Structure 1
Amino acid sequence: MNQSQNKQSNKTQITLAATLLATLLACLPPQALAQAAPPPQEKGPAPKDAMLHALAVQYPNPYRAMEAAEVKAVLDRVLAYLDASTPAELVSKSSGAPIGRLDQADPDAVLKPGDFRLTSYEWGVTYAGMLAAGAATGDRRYTDYTLRRHQLLSDLTRLYYPAVKADPANAQAPIKSFLNPHALDDAGALCMSFLKAQQASVRVDYGQMIDICATFVTRQEYRLKDGTLARGGPDGKGGVKMRPLPDTLWLDDMFMGVPTIALMGKQTGNAKYYDDAVRQVLQFSQRMFNPKLGIFMHGYVEGMRDHPELHWARANGWAIMAMVEVLEVLPTTHKGYQAVVRQLRAHARGLASFQDKDGLWHQLIDRPDSYLETSASAIYTYAIARAVNRGYLDKEMYGPMANLAWNAVAAKVNAKGEVEGTCVGTGMAFDPAFYYYRPVSVRAAHGYGPVLLAGAEIIEMNRKYKFGVNDSGFMYQGSR
């Protein structure tokens, strides 16, 4: 064999070897490809600091991506607790006896008391969370939880709404706050859950309920002159509601109203709802978002020169959640689509800068001496993971952040399925003491829906992308 033939043979062997190596590497699990620290090149006895980088670290929560089965085990505890503690039943108000079947409106009938109300805005989030958990896990029990309670609400609406509509002041009904709403709290989140369920083909007659709550959100709730949803409007008696002051914006209302408005765009095909949803996001943000910090203030009063910036965590959760829900249905061709995406990204960057070392966020986000709060942290987990899954946020940066947050949130679900560390219902104030000293309770309903939503979205994210340890750091490792 001459020299030329030898060279050609060597090239062929090298090519075959390279192909074989590439094939073998492609078959290896992702952790086998994780970058390791290079071995020392010096010869002789190793110095005492040679392997310090490999010391075991005692993280308080798992420093890894939870397997889907682990996430579901957390969600299963929540489901078991809520299914037992929120009965979908009627009883007699006077005797407490169960009412098995109700054929006509009975003023003595009430919902059987449980740990939580079935028509609160928190439970609108919980119904949506159960639907998401059912879709992510394939476990029909989650979907059935929402279906059974929505069916009961639909039946009660059919029976009691005519009387409530005819005489709102005096008519009695087990779900009167929903049938005669006075604030977005009474209608908005519930309406979102009805619309989501209907669009997911849950077999309940939602028509009358959606008409009641969507009409209130889109046409009857008070607004500022530029159309922004607000509180502190006319009280119907010639005065003004003090909630807490006239013409007040609550950041919470970005969620209490805006997702329903956007979903009505999908429901009806009428672009005016999309236009309104985008306008709400941008006008709330113009007034209440601090671009230097990347987070929102809780309250804003139209006409005030200065506003105390109290950056309450859960309200910021409602804001970022509203944006991902709007983007879920807003056509990508809508003129305001990119503006909403930019606002979402700016908010996510701000939240990332304030995440605590163990994964949660503080009650007042930028005040680390305030306590760590669970419901807001769960909402951020859900919204950020959803934004990663939809491509609004970079998976490399935000995927590990969402996993770290989920692992910390999961640690707050106790053996009974109760969610610990959740701030109770909170109004608005212009001083820090109010927020610092708000109590926490496992009976604070605000924590349960966000935990379900967060777990469901983490399952979806980790099913789509690989995350693992790379040279001791938890990082993105590619698509599955």
Structure 2
Amino acid sequence: MKKVLFGCFCFSAVMQLCAQSNETLVRKIADQIINETKLGFEGTENKQFYASSKDIPENTKVKYASPYTGWHYTHGVLNMAMINLGNYLNEPKYTNYAAQHVAFGFDNYKVFQQRFKNDVKHYTYPYGEFFTMDELDDFGAMSASIIEVYKTVKKPEYKEYLEKAAKHLTEERLRLEDGTFVRKFPYQNTLWADDLYMSVPFLARMGKLTGQNKYFDDAIKQVINFNKYLWDADREIYWHIWYSDLKRNGVAHWGRCNGWIMLAQIHLLDQLPQNHPKRKELIQLLERQIVGIARYQNAEGLWHQILDKNDSYTESSCTAMFVYGIAHAVNQGWIDKRYASIATTGWEGLKKHKINELGQLKDICVGTGIQDNLAFYYNRPVGLNEKHGTGPLLDAGVEILKLEKSGK
């Protein structure tokens, strides 16, 4: 077992963190994210700050002023989590965070669209994802978050964007013959587990927003098909990928991709009509995953970067995702309340080992592609309050607060 040595100050900080109420901690986490967010741009060479894209001189290269500024699926995850938190606590500053982030994107993307319209590397400049929609990463989760913002901010440009994104998703994206979403890389028609989250939460919300069953039908088809291609019945967890050319899976049961699959199912069930004929089957698939995931939780309540490899590091984003998904399923009454202990144990593990005194989450795996060797997954770097983990952490915190309130 890995030994962790604490100095007196560090040990004291951990004890203070564990002693404070969960609501105080969740507010601290959210407030720290707000403190780290700076909407604007910074010159890559002159380091000058630009509050608006219109202030950036021609031929001046810029980057986002903070990691939380951009237009990436992780920002969509965080926006929805902030709205979730704000609604639960009746705290406008959290819901306003998401509204301001979306508004800033709409106010600034056109400058970059005009200046870089012939640049094919859309990820090399701000807001390239906004107007290219090259991958599901670029618009799926962000569109889902725009729907949440649109519930209170009825801007016509938001609706126009959503209609464009929905048309692109349902009519133009690359799919297998059975309709399953796939990518062109690293090989043609590669199925990524991540893409269930990049598509289903948006599809489900479009179904709710428009009342059109075609979106629900597509979302359900994705969940069932992803299970068909990626579920490992022996280990009872999911593979990261499936190669259609080789007709086989990859090599890794990556933690976060299993988290994305769980969250996608949660979002679908949240939006799906209560009397939908496929609802029972979807809950059964979710419960199957929860039982499988539970068998890989370690003694500290955490999950590993590679779920079935205990010598890989304990990873915070997947742990937060599983805490959220399991607690939410219990809170909604989809699964038996005895499963709640899995989530609460995971939350306590995060508090004790992964959240520092500022409310920042440690050991979040950075963005991860695909490789056919486990060493790639073992050696992925980690970040502090890295954008892939903070949204799921807030969602986990909200569900833990609901568990506390209900006494489950």
TM-score normalised by L of structure 2: 0.86
Deviations 1:377-399 (A, max 9, x none): 0001111111111111111x211
Matched pairs, number: 389
Q: Does 1:80 align with 2:21?
A: no
Aligned residue among 254, 259, 274 for 2:196: 254
Aligned residue among 346, 349, 357 for 2:299: 357
* 1:462 match: 404
Among all aligned residue pairs of Structure 1 and Structure 2, give the percentage whose two residues are the same amino acid. 30
Deviation for aligned residue 1:100: 5.3
Preserved contact between residue 371 and residue 436 of structure 1 (Cα < 8 Å): yes
Q: Does 1:114 align with 2:66?
A: yes
Superposition pairs of residues 303-342 of structure 1, within 5 angstroms: 303-342=245-284
Deviations 1:331-363 (A, max 9, x none): 132232222111111101101111111111111
* 1:266 match: 208
Deviations 1:86-118 (A, max 9, x none): 212356778655555677998669565214442
Deviation for aligned residue 1:291: 2.8
Moved more, 100-109 or 346-355: 100-109
SS at match of 1:361: coil
- Separation in structure 2 between the aligned mates of residue 115 and residue 404 of structure 1, nearest angstrom: 30
* 1:425 match: 367
Q: Report the residue type matching 2:341 in the other structure.
A: P
Moved more, 262-271 or 100-109: 100-109
SS at match of 1:444: coil
Q: Does 1:132 align with 2:84?
A: yes
Q: Does 1:198 align with 2:198?
A: no
Deviation for aligned residue 1:169: 5.4
Q: Report the residue type matching 2:203 in the other structure.
A: I
Moved more, 136-145 or 125-134: 136-145
Preserved contact between residue 183 and residue 192 of structure 2 (Cα < 8 Å): yes
Q: Report the residue type matching 1:379 in the other structure.
A: M
Superposition pairs of residues 384-399 of structure 1, within 5 angstroms: 384-395=326-337, 397-399=338-340
Moved more, 81-90 or 339-348: 81-90
Aligned residue among 389, 394, 401 for 2:342: 401
Deviations 1:215-261 (A, max 9, x none): 333332211111100012xxxxxxxxxx2222110000010111111
* 1:52 match: none
Aligned residue among 341, 346, 350 for 2:288: 346
Task: For structure 1, list consecutive stretches of 5 or more residues without a partner in the other structure.
Answer: 1-60, 233-242, 467-475
Preserved contact between residue 70 and residue 126 of structure 2 (Cα < 8 Å): no
Q: Report the residue type matching 2:344 in the other structure.
A: N
Deviation for aligned residue 1:204: 5.3
* 2:308 match: 366
Change over 3 Å in CA distance of 1:360–1:207 after alignment to 2: same
- Separation in structure 1 between the aligned mates of residue 287 and residue 121 of structure 2, nearest angstrom: 48
- Separation in structure 1 between the aligned mates of residue 401 and residue 273 of structure 2, nearest angstrom: 26
- Separation in structure 1 between the aligned mates of residue 254 and residue 131 of structure 2, nearest angstrom: 30
Preserved contact between residue 222 and residue 231 of structure 1 (Cα < 8 Å): yes
Q: Report the residue type matching 2:70 in the other structure.
A: L
Deviation for aligned residue 1:308: 4.2
* 2:6 match: none
Superposition pairs of residues 14-413 of structure 1, within 5 angstroms: 70-90=21-41, 97-99=48-50, 112-157=64-109, 159-160=110-111, 163=114, 174-199=126-151, 201-202=152-153, 206-232=158-184, 243-395=185-337, 397-411=338-352, 412-413=354-355
Deviation for aligned residue 1:431: 2.3
- Separation in structure 2 between the aligned mates of residue 265 and residue 121 of structure 1, nearest angstrom: 20
Cα root mean square deviation, aligned: 2.9
Change over 3 Å in CA distance of 1:174–1:354 after alignment to 2: closer
- Separation in structure 2 between the aligned mates of residue 253 and residue 135 of structure 1, nearest angstrom: 27
Moved more, 376-385 or 117-126: 117-126
- Separation in structure 2 between the aligned mates of residue 291 and residue 458 of structure 1, nearest angstrom: 30
- Separation in structure 2 between the aligned mates of residue 160 and residue 334 of structure 1, nearest angstrom: 44
- Separation in structure 2 between the aligned mates of residue 285 and residue 229 of structure 1, nearest angstrom: 13
- Separation in structure 2 between the aligned mates of residue 194 and residue 86 of structure 1, nearest angstrom: 18
Deviation for aligned residue 1:307: 2.9
SS at match of 2:242: strand
Change over 3 Å in CA distance of 1:148–1:307 after alignment to 2: closer
Change over 3 Å in CA distance of 1:91–1:454 after alignment to 2: same
SS at match of 2:391: helix
SS at match of 1:414: coil
Deviation for aligned residue 1:85: 2.2
- Separation in structure 1 between the aligned mates of residue 82 and residue 91 of structure 2, nearest angstrom: 10
Preserved contact between residue 187 and residue 217 of structure 1 (Cα < 8 Å): no
Q: Does 1:439 align with 2:391?
A: no
- Separation in structure 1 between the aligned mates of residue 339 and residue 382 of structure 2, nearest angstrom: 28
- Separation in structure 1 between the aligned mates of residue 381 and residue 233 of structure 2, nearest angstrom: 30
